[in-house]
Amino acid sequence: MTRPRFLLPLLVQLLLLLSPAAGARWQDFLRLPSEGDGAAAGTRWALLIAGSNGYYNYRHQASLSCQFLLCYASGDALPTPCHALQADVCHAYQIMRKGGLKDENIVVFMYDDIANNPENPRPGVIINHPSGGDVYAGVPKDYTDKDVNVNNFLAALLGNKSAITGGGGGSGKVIASGADDHVFVYYSDHGGPGVLGMPSDDGDGYLYAKDLVGALKAKHAAGGYKSLVFYLEACESGSIFEGLLPSDMGVYATTAANAEESSWGTYCPGDDDHPAPPEYDTCLGDLYSVAWMEDSDVHNLRTESLKQQYELVKDRTSANGSYNVGSHVMQYGDKSLDGQSMYNFIGTDPANDNATFARDNSLLRRRFSGGAAVNQRDADLVYFWQKYKKSTEGTPEKVETRRRLLEVMSRRSHVDSSMELIGSLLFGSDKGSKVLGAVRPAGQPLADDWDCLKSMVRAYEAQCGSLAQYGMKHMRSFANICNAGVREEAMAKVASQACAAVAR
């Protein structure tokens, strides 16, 4: 039977009339089968983490926002300016909420020591851009303070509520996703080869790559998702997945840096193009994180694929391919997923329905000059230097800020010198630096024996004190010591000798 030619137009008009009444957008009703975003088949979940504490790490907590949010903050032996790390996490949360994710699908791990920190010039407010608004308001704080740790993070990722531990146990929220669901994970923190930081000071302060990838494998084996996207902001972040993340389990990951380089902070004091407001002494954001979030802020994410965002973020994070500043943004895992829409994972802001993604857009022209970014590992020095420079000569504040700056620099020197001496004691003065600094070919994991790596770090810290966020840069050296067959007892002996000598 021939259908009346007016039937399809009539149905279209009917849908357009009904959808506003139902409180939905017409795009949610009219979608071609080829678009296949899969959102109707499952729930979006997101994990957002700010893995640091201390005010000079502000930028990490300011960037979190997700479908199922896990905001996380990690720590140091010395107080640090954590503004940008926490700012990243809070910003990400706002993107997810505008994208349509519900708080019941958002878990936040965040140390939460920035917004009301005495050093914050705008009490109760966190910003992630020099002229940006508050990204802290409304952010759920499911796990804070000591509840932010490796065990709870992995338990939340795996959806294992019974494994959550700690004083208050947090809200108890976990990623209870199923086989039809889409999961987005965003982790913003300090890192080093094969490791990510945590704020814990009880021996649980590092998340090792093998353990993280092991949890993702377990999540996959349990049918815990249809597809999972992992965005990782940290130094040497490529080493977390290099040679470890399989390409056949539906996980697509991008990282702020490759396995050998630092990532970068941005919107810092002294930035030539986009400086932090003068009252701020710390960076407001991270280069990779700001790139993906500012893109997500302004586009209809139904029209933008994971690959398109990856290419844009790669260009911005590398100063448009010049690498005058910045790092190499990388992809790992199942790269066949990169054709999927961003909407599948983080939704989209209705206000951007008419803002279609274009490869040659204004964000790419927002070039970062040489003064626009700071090496992640030097962000704390920027903070302490700004505090020292602004304090008045002859005041107790000037004396204290000078003491803190010198303490940070002294600790760095102690770690570097002790590791150099350990290399010489183990392998000889001619070979020590070569063995410790050796980089494996692409595609190989950092370590052969990850339990050995953990034991070497414990042996060093027992004799020499915490590596802290700066010292994580030496994780490759510890891995190479393991790969060379050195045993824990030998490491403990030379660490004791080296650190005693350096302390003299």
Residues 6+ apart with CB under 8 A from 407: 78
Instruction: Indicate which residue of 66, 71, 90, 235 is catalytic.
Output: 235
Active site annotation includes 452? no
SS3 20: helix
- b/e sequence 221-253, b meaning 16+ C-beta within 10 Å: eeebbbbbbbbbbbbbbbbbbbbbbeeebbbbb
SS3 333: strand
Active site annotation includes 235? yes
Give me the residues paired with residue 182 across strands. Answer: 44, 227
Separation of alpha carbons 144 and 88, rounded Å: 16
311 burial via Cβ count (<10 Å: 0-12, 13-18, 19+) = middle
Alpha carbon 413 to chain centroid, angstroms: 27
Angle formed by the axes of helices 396-427 and 450-464, nearest 10°: 130
Among 504, 450, 459, 501, smallest CA distance to 203 is for: 459
What is the C-alpha radius of gyration for the chain, rounded to an integer number of angstroms?
23
The DSSP string of 104-151 is GGEEEE----STT-TT-SSTT---SSTT---S-TT---SB-GGG-SHH
| Phi (first) and psi of residue 266, to 5 degrees | -145, 175
Token look-up 């400086």 returns 275
SS3 200: coil
Instruction: Indicate which residue of 60, 83, 129, 190 is catalytic.
Output: 190
Enzyme catalytic residues = 190, 235
